[in-house]
Amino acid sequence: MSNYEDIFKKVVSHAKEYGYVFQSSDIYDGLAAAYDYGPNGVELKNNIKNYWWKSMVNMHENIVGLDSSIFMHPTTWKASGHIDAFNDPLVDNKDSKKRYRADVLIEDHISKIETKIDKDVLKATKRFGEAFNKEEFLANNGRVLDRQKQIDSINKKMNTYLSSNNLKKVKALIEELDIKCPVSGTNNWTDVRQFNLMFKTQMGATADGSSDLYLRPETAQGIFVNFLNVQKTARMKIPFGIAQIGKAFRNEIIARQFIFRMREFEQMEMQFFVRPGEEMKWYAYWKDFRMKWHNSLSMGEDNYRFHDHENLAHYANAATDIQFKFPFGFKELEGIHSRTDFDLKAHQEYSGKKLQYFDPELGESYVPYVVETSIGLDRMFLTVLSNSFREEELENGESRVVLKIPAVLAPLKAAILPLTKKDGMPEKAREIMKMLQLDFNCQYEEKDSIGKRYRRQDAIGTPFCITVDHQTLEDNTVTLRDRDTMTQERISVKKLHDIIAEKVSVTKHLA
Ligand code: GAP
């Protein structure tokens, strides 16, 4: 097992042990690609949602929110193109009978070449020490350039074949690259065929009277069909946006890597409606704005990169992914798409209702163009969790596992710990808890030694531990322990609120 796989395994079991994420229906041996969020998980999830909503809705006067239903009129999906084109290329290995997404098999092959480049860089870093210049090395090293050429060529072929729906060539590419099934180890593949990802269900009691419905595969269509409702009632002027957080469902062919690819997941999407012809300006704006949002969390600028789509979705004239360096390589975290007027025009056509905007400045009506930003909440959760997980050797020879979650997102902001269970310390600690708990999610803990309690809070990712000791009862001071540096400072109880607020304030992070 590689080091990365090993770390990822540890992250998954840590998530379970500390109440972040459980397999769905665990007692029935689980349901594939569905997960439940535990007490700390739901707090982290809510904090991510809040961080996104504040930045997208509250900080933009021209963006408003929506919460549309999961069930939609079935014609929605005909109009949006999902019934005809929301497919993934599927391939089976004849020996293991395992099913794969053909494009993911090829992307995994590319990731392996990228890992080799990372190893080349690591080796050279060790060899050249301080004199090492990574950019220069990547631009000039023969072996790296060869590998990069291979990657570019595979990407180009894959995108050409997929966009022309040439599934025979996709299969030929898998064979040419000698990609083997990880289970059987053979390259005995079936033909590649398309598979629609939408879940179908029925509404209504009788078989005759019922109609086929789909669980929405993206939240965006709820925004499109409400375009005029929102524009008129909120009196919005173009350019303006509609934001929504909600569940989406996809019958993913292969759902692996924990909460990275699920069949039921949550999206945070924003559709920004603009004048036709101005979409590229706004596409650039939102690329920049979203990357800044990610970087505001200080999880390492090198861990993000843009990846422009060559194989565009049926609705887009430009698209890019913000990729994050997960333990299993750089993968899509967020999509930014210029969706043209495709969706509004299609809904106009299928519904027979005009979906136009009268632009008072231009004195004309038009169907707006749309730039969307779409991030998976669960993927963002995995980004935070996998990036924060550390195993540290301490100076005293001990080790600790710590989640260095950005304080603004941490599920618990402070743990309040009486040093012992006597001499009035628990009462004083409860008093502090009362003072803080309405503004910050706090935990009171008195069981076990103080050292053990610190380790437990490190493992949960709590930025502050507040310890009440004998001195507290004399001079109203406590020790405040910082999760990352483990330093302890003696401070007045009166200052606690301001110190914590300074570190965890969403406003301060986003300002
Ligand atoms: N409305 C546009 C749209 O849905 P997408 O690229 O298909 O675009 C957007 O999805 C984001 O949703 C992705 O970047 C990813 O973060 C998240 N996402 C997509 N499929 C997912 C899945 N099966 N499990 C978890 N997250 C997923």
Ligand 1 binding pocket mutation candidate from 82, 314, 374 (most atoms within 8 A of CB): 374
Instruction: Answer yes or no: do 251 and 313 share one domain.
Output: yes
Measured N-to-C along each axis, helices 167-176 and 102-128 cross at an angle, to the nearest 10 degrees, of 40
Residue 168's pLDDT is 96
Cα(229)–Cα(245) distance, rounded to whole angstroms?
Answer: 18
| 32 part of a folded domain | no
Ligand 1 atom nearest residue 337's Cα:
2
Ligand 1 binding pocket mutation candidate from 265, 307, 309, 331 (most atoms within 8 A of CB): 265
Ligand 1 atom nearest residue 267's Cα:
12
Cα(384)–Cα(382) distance, rounded to whole angstroms?
Answer: 5
Cα(262)–Cα(253) distance, rounded to whole angstroms?
Answer: 10
Q: How many angstroms is it from 287 CA to the middle of ligand 1?
A: 16
| 18 part of a folded domain | no
CATH at 95: 3.30.40.230
Q: Is 33 helix (H, G, I), strand (E, B) or coil?
A: coil
Confidence of residue 253 (pLDDT cuts 50, 70, 90): confident
Instruction: Answer yes or no: do 372 and 273 share one domain.
Output: yes
**Residue of minimum CA distance from atom 19 in ligand 1:** 376
**Residue of minimum CA distance from atom 12 in ligand 1:** 376
> In this model, does residue 209 exceed pLDDT 80?
no
Instruction: Answer yes or no: do 244 and 290 share one domain.
Output: yes
Q: How many angstroms is it from 374 CA to the middle of ligand 1?
A: 7
Confidence of residue 204 (pLDDT cuts 50, 70, 90): confident
Query: Does the CA dihedral 314-192-151-153 come out positive or negative?
Result: negative
For 218-233, how does the pLDDT look when each residue is reduced to its tens digit (9 = 90+)?
999 999 999 999 999 9
Find out whether 24 and 356 touch, Cβ atoms under 8 Å: no
> In this model, does residue 313 exceed pLDDT 90?
no
Q: What's the residue count for the chain? A: 511
Confidence of residue 157 (pLDDT cuts 50, 70, 90): very high
Q: Which of 386, 421, 455 is the last residue of a domain?
A: 386
Ligand 1 atom nearest residue 263's Cα:
23
Ligand 1 atom nearest residue 219's Cα:
1
Instruction: Answer yes or no: do 147 and 169 share one domain.
Output: yes
Q: How many angstroms is it from 34 CA to the middle of ligand 1?
A: 15
CATH at 430: 3.40.50.800
For 462-477, how does the pLDDT look when each residue is reduced to its tens digit (9 = 90+)?
999 999 999 999 999 9
Q: How many angstroms is it from 35 CA to the middle of ligand 1?
A: 16
Instruction: Answer yes or no: do 380 and 422 share one domain.
Output: no
Q: How many angstroms is it from 256 CA to the middle of ligand 1?
A: 14
| 395 part of a folded domain | no
> In this model, does residue 270 exceed pLDDT 70?
yes
Number of domains, the chain: 3
Instruction: Answer yes or no: do 71 and 95 share one domain.
Output: no
Residues 6+ apart with CB under 8 A from 345: 355, 367
Query: Does the CA dihedral 180-181-187-193 come out positive or negative?
Result: negative
Q: How many angstroms is it from 257 CA to the middle of ligand 1?
A: 14
**Residue of minimum CA distance from atom 14 in ligand 1:** 334
Ligand 1 atom nearest residue 335's Cα:
14
Instruction: Answer yes or no: do 267 and 147 share one domain.
Output: no
**Residue of minimum CA distance from atom 25 in ligand 1:** 261
Tokens for 462, please give them: 């709590």
For 408-451, how does the pLDDT look when each residue is reduced to its tens digit (9 = 90+)?
999 999 999 999 999 999 999 999 999 999 999 999 999 999 99
Tokens for 433, please give them: 């808890």
Pocket around ligand 1 at a 6 A CB cut-off: 218, 220, 250, 252, 261-262, 265, 267, 269, 332-335, 372, 374-376, 378-379
Question: What is the end-to-end Cα distance of the chain in Å, rounded?
Answer: 43
Instruction: Answer yes or no: do 185 and 318 share one domain.
Output: no
For 365-378, how does the pLDDT look when each residue is reduced to its tens digit (9 = 90+)?
999 999 999 999 99
**Which amino acid is located at 253 in the chain?**
I
Residue 349's pLDDT is 97
Instruction: Answer yes or no: do 281 and 315 share one domain.
Output: yes
Residue 345's pLDDT is 97
- Neighbour-count burial for 389-420, b at 16+ CB within 10 Å, e otherwise: beeeeeeeeeeeebbbbbbbbbbbbbbbbbbe
Question: What is the SS3 string spanning 435-466?
Answer: HHCCCCCEEECCCCCHHHHHHHHHHHCCCEEE
Q: Which domain holds residue 141?
A: 87-196
| 172 part of a folded domain | yes
